[in-house]
């Protein structure tokens, strides 16, 4: 049984106004972030018809390398936060652990696609931007209200759910859809829609049952958005064009 299945087995409840307002604000922030992404150097380069397919692959390859550098650490930090959740709320702990377990291999998948796209197997040390992502997540894990996790994680899931289908369209226009090194994005184009929906209902449920938890969710969202995605992707773009 997946996190999605467990969550939707829960009896339906009426969500509080605070919960509805919190989710609307998080959703608005992710939409605004996506608009900033679409005006960024990496995105404009990636979507420009004048950019060669080889250069498109190079940018994607470097983003995969970045994912492999930070993802294991954000996953471990997430599990650390779950260990600090209210111990009586077993169902919440179970659903979040199940969801995070589904994410655990993603850094491995990103590394495998990075290698399939011609990446250097010796490139194992983190970049400054990916180190910053890991550092923010571990600091949140140690000192923040663990319910704040949901705000930061919603940026991960919903932003990918917005970006991945557009990226797949770019690959299709270039005849790259069958490239075995793009499995990571193809998988996320489908799965992160489900994960974002799961997080929506979890956020609504948690804020309804824990009034005031919205403050930590919005704060953790802000921490994370300061270092992701644009600093990470801009760094990946710089590596790609240098090569």
**Cβ neighbours of residue 195 closer than 8 Å, sequence gap 6 or more:** 4, 99, 102, 103, 157, 161
Q: What is the pLDDT of residues 23-33, one digit of tens each?
A: 999 999 999 99
Q: What is the pLDDT of residues 17-60, one digit of tens each?
A: 999 999 999 999 999 999 999 999 999 999 999 999 999 999 99
- Exposed, middle or buried: residue 138 (CB in 10 Å: 0-12, 13-18, 19+)? middle
CATH topology of domain 33-242: Heme Oxygenase; Chain A (1.20.910)
Residue 17 CA: distances (Å) to CA of 74, 204, 211: 30, 9, 10
Q: Which two tokens stand for residue 233?
A: 């992707």
Residue 44 CA: distances (Å) to CA of 20, 30, 49, 69, 169: 34, 19, 10, 24, 15
CA 58, CA 78: separation in Å to the nearest integer? Answer: 30
* Residue with token string 């409840």: 13
**What pTM, to 2 d.p., does this model score?**
0.91
């Amino acid at each position: 049984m997946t996190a999605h299945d467990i969550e939707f087995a829960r009896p339906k409840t009426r969500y509080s106004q605070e919960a509805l307002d919190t989710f609307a604000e998080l959703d608005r922030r992710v939409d605004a972030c996506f608009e900033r992404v679409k005006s960024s150097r990496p995105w404009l380069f990636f979507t420009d018809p004048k950019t060669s397919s080889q250069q498109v692959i190079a940018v994607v390859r470097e983003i995969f390398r970045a994912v492999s550098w930070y993802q294991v650490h954000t996953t471990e930090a997430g599990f650390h936060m779950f260990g600090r959740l209210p111990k009586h709320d077993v169902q919440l702990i179970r659903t979040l652990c199940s969801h995070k377990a589904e994410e655990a291999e993603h850094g491995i998948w990103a590394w495998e696609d990075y290698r399939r796209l011609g990446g250097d197997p010796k490139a194992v040390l983190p970049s400054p931007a990916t180190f910053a992502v890991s550092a923010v997540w571990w600091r949140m894990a140690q000192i923040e209200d663990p319910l704040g996790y949901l705000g930061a994680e919603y940026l991960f899931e919903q932003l990918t759910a917005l970006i991945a289908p557009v990226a797949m369209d770019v690959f299709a226009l270039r005849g790259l859809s069958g490239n075995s090194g793009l499995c990571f994005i193809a998988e996320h184009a489908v799965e992160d829609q489900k994960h974002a929906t799961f997080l929506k209902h979890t956020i609504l449920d948690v804020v309804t049952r824990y009034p005031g938890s919205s403050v930590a969710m919005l704060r953790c969202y802000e921490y994370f958005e300061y270092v992701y995605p644009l600093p990470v992707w801009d760094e990946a773009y710089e590596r790609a064009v240098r090569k």
